[in-house]
Amino acid sequence: MKDTPSFLVMIIWSFTEMERQSIYHLDERTGSGFVSQDLYLHGYFSASIKLPADYTAGVVVAFYMSNGDIFEKNHDEIDFEFLGNIRGKDWRIQTNIYGNGSTSVGREERYSLWFDPSEDFHQYSILWTDSQIIFYVDNIPIREVKRTESMGGDFPSKPMSLYATIWDGSGWATNGGKYRVNYKYAPYVTEFSDLVLHGCSVDPIEQFPKCDNTESSEAIPTGVTPARRIKMESFRAKFMTYSYCYDQVRYKVPPSECVINPKEADRLKSYDPVTFGGGRRHHGKRHHRSRAGQVEAISI
């Protein structure tokens, strides 16, 4: 988090404490957030989040899993990142994964939303198993990452803690750093409620799983059903604005785990022919970073 002048205050919460509504803020001196008391190896992790309103350029709200404090050089990470914007422009949402310190291979996808996330609470969820990662918004799957043999250790596979933060990402978050946080609008306030940590906790010393063998709740998804897959495809067709798999500026050959969808390729190419169509134009260096050291209605 070297981009921010703000000191980040992290609070360790127990599960019972995290069930209540919590408020975190960013101002010129302080960012804030929480981290779970336990480490988890796989599970379902969810929160209802309400984002700051008005001018939010440069502001980053993150809901993610990481073990960067334990594995500094080969950490894993699964991210929801909410990227603020100038007045009149919508929040963007970004998902990303790292495995075994694979930060040089950005696996970002970015989307717009069919609602204003600053007006009310909406649910954002991560399902992480040994073979797949699924991101959900209001119980609608928006991205599925399947583990492949070619990914090797790039698939997150070590125990991680759950984090949430609000911080200053002025150096990269809005138009590559063109628009920075304006503290005239501070404090920037984000609210979390209805947190769910349904996972296999792990002893941090012995790395031994302490799994709850009780039956899973029907509210906890185990994958993407055919009906939900239709909703996922509808969301991606309408709201996905960036996927690393189609970025021909960064990757002349898509990373090995990518499954190219011709419809997605054609839509993104029409959206940005330079990035997704192989056109020629000078681009500044795309920002890669890790936290290890630091609209229309939709019928889906």
Which residues does the annotation mark as catalytic?
77, 81
The confidence score (pLDDT) of residue 236 equals: 96
Owning domain of residue 183: 7-293
226 belongs to a structural domain: yes
Q: Is residue 81 situated within a structural domain? A: yes
Q: Kindly state whether residue 97 falls inside one of the protein's structural domains.
A: yes
How many structural domains comprise the chain? 1
What's the mean pLDDT in 263-270? 93
Q: What pLDDT was estimated at residue 8?
A: 56
Please state the pTM of the whole predicted model: 0.86
* pLDDT tens track for 186-216: 999 999 999 999 998 987 666 666 665 444 5
Domain annotation covers residue 299: no
Q: What's the pLDDT score for residue 267?
A: 93
Strands (E), 109-160: 109-111, 122-128, 132-137, 140-146
Among the residue ranges 11-15, 85-89, 146-150, 256-260, the one predicted with the least confidence is 11-15
- What would the pLDDT profile of 122-138 be if each residue is shown by its tens digit? 999 999 999 999 999 99
What does the pLDDT average to over 77-87?
97
In a domain, residue 253? The reply is yes
Angle at 81 between CA 75 and CA 82, to 5 degrees: 165
Q: Which range has highest mean pLDDT (1-10, 55-64, 101-110)? A: 55-64
Q: Tell me, yes or no, whether 216 lies in a domain.
A: yes
> Would you state the pLDDT for residue 177?
92
3-class secondary structure, 228? helix
Lowest-confidence pick of 61-70, 182-191, 234-243, 282-291: 282-291
- Checking if the pLDDT of 87 tops 90, the result is yes
CA distance 252 to 258: 13
**pLDDT tens digits for 156-166?**
999 999 999 99
CATH of residue 208's domain is 2.60.120.200
Domain contains 298: no
Is residue 166 within 8 Å of 9, Cβ to Cβ? Answer: no
**Average pLDDT rounded to a whole number, residues 225-251:** 96
Helix (H, G, I), strand (E, B) or coil at 184: helix
Whether residue 237 lies inside any domain: the answer is yes
CA distance 298 to 124: 17
